[in-house]
Copies of this chain bind each other. A is one copy, B any other.
Amino acid sequence: MKCDETLRDAPVTETPKEDIQRTLNRLKRIEGQVRGVQKMVEDDRYCIDILIQLSAIQSALKNVGFQVTEKHIQHCVTHAIQNGEGDESIQELMTVLKQFNK
Tell me the A residues contacting B by CB distance below 8 Å: 1-4, 14-15, 20, 23-24, 27-28, 30-31, 34-35, 37-38, 41-42, 44-48, 50-52, 54-55, 57-59, 61-62, 64-66, 68-78, 81-82, 86-87, 90, 92-94, 96-102
User: A94 touching B66 by the CB < 8 A rule?
Assistant: yes
Instruction: Write the nearest CB–CB distance from A66 to chain B, whole angstroms.
Output: 6
The 10 closest A-B CB pairs, nearest first, are A47-B72, A1-B47, A4-B46, A55-B100, A51-B96, A31-B34, A27-B38, A54-B65, A55-B99, A81-B81
User: B41 touching A27 by the CB < 8 A rule?
Assistant: yes
A96 CB contact (under 8 Å) in B55, B70, B99: B55
